[in-house]
Amino acid sequence: MDQVWFYIFAAITIVASLGVIGQRNPMHSVMLLIVSFGGLAGLYILLDAPFTAVTQIIIYAGAIMVLFLFVVMLLNAHTEDEDIPAALGPHALKAGVLLSLLLAVQVAWALTRVPETGFTNDPGTVSAIKSVAQIGSQLFTTHSFAFEVTSILILVAMVGAVVIAGKPREER
């Protein structure tokens, strides 16, 4: 049963991600990326990580994607220039597709050579991974320094975004 769900969610994620890079309209790209994140959240649930799945939906699909949508609507740029600049040469697009396919094939090939490693089904381990209390205590003890640094990062990013996107000084 898990196998069926894995392939369903994997298909949703891959098709939606391909849609993201295939759409001309950025608005559709953002919407498809939200669908892709939904598929990933399903995969996290299959991996016994329900808290991460919920965070994925709330933070990623809920907050970060709204930020993207907000900017797409603000800039009102619904199309992309079709013409490829002459400096790139006539085969630029084909070469890019080829290189990306090459990367995908290489990564998949390398990973298929790794011996099959199944997941443990020990109920104790599974319930420890699922536990939000376990995640919380680990986050605030072992990883407390990284957690604090993260808050500084957010502060710097916030100030930086305001400074960069704010109006130039003379116009104020």
Partner 1 sequence: MITLNEYLILSGVLFSIGTAGVFLRRNLITMLLSIEIMLNAVNLSFVAGGRYHGSVDGQIITFFVMTVAAAEAAVGLALVIALFRHKETLSPDAYTTLKW
Q: State both tokens at 34.
A: 């939200």
CB 37 within 8 A of CB 63: no
9-43 burial code (b ≥16 CB/10 A, e <16): beebbeebbebbeebeebeebbbbbbbbbbbbbbb
Find the binder of partner 1 among 35, 54, 55, 57 (CB under 8 A): 55
**Which one, 89 or 146, has the nearer CB to partner 1?**
146
Residue 111 makes contact with partner 1 by CB under 8 A: yes
- CA 41 and chain centroid, separation: 11
Instruction: Provide the minimum distance between the beta carbon of 150 and partner 1 in the complex, in angstroms, as a whole number.
Output: 5
Instruction: Provide the minimum distance between the beta carbon of 89 and partner 1 in the complex, in angstroms, as a whole number.
Output: 13
* Distance between CA atoms of residues 133 and 146, nearest Å: 18
Residue 73 makes contact with partner 1 by CB under 8 A: no
* Distance between CA atoms of residues 4 and 1, nearest Å: 5
Q: DSSP secondary structure string, 102-157?
A: HHHHHHHHHHHTSPP-PPP--HHHHHHHH-HHHHHHHHHTTTHHHHHHHHHHHHHH
* Distance between CA atoms of residues 99 and 38, nearest Å: 28
Instruction: Provide the minimum distance between the beta carbon of 119 and partner 1 in the complex, in angstroms, as a whole number.
Output: 6
Residue 52 makes contact with partner 1 by CB under 8 A: yes
Instruction: Provide the minimum distance between the beta carbon of 128 and partner 1 in the complex, in angstroms, as a whole number.
Output: 7
Q: What residues between 5 and 34 interact with partner 1 by CB under 8 A? A: 6, 10, 13-14, 17-18, 20-21, 23, 26, 29-30, 33
Interaction mask 123-162, partner 1, x per CB under 8 A: --x--xx-x--xx--xx---x--x---x--xx-xxx-xxx
**Which one, 89 or 160, has the nearer CB to partner 1?**
160
Find the binder of partner 1 among 8, 62, 64, 73 (CB under 8 A): 64
Instruction: Provide the minimum distance between the beta carbon of 144 and partner 1 in the complex, in angstroms, as a whole number.
Output: 11
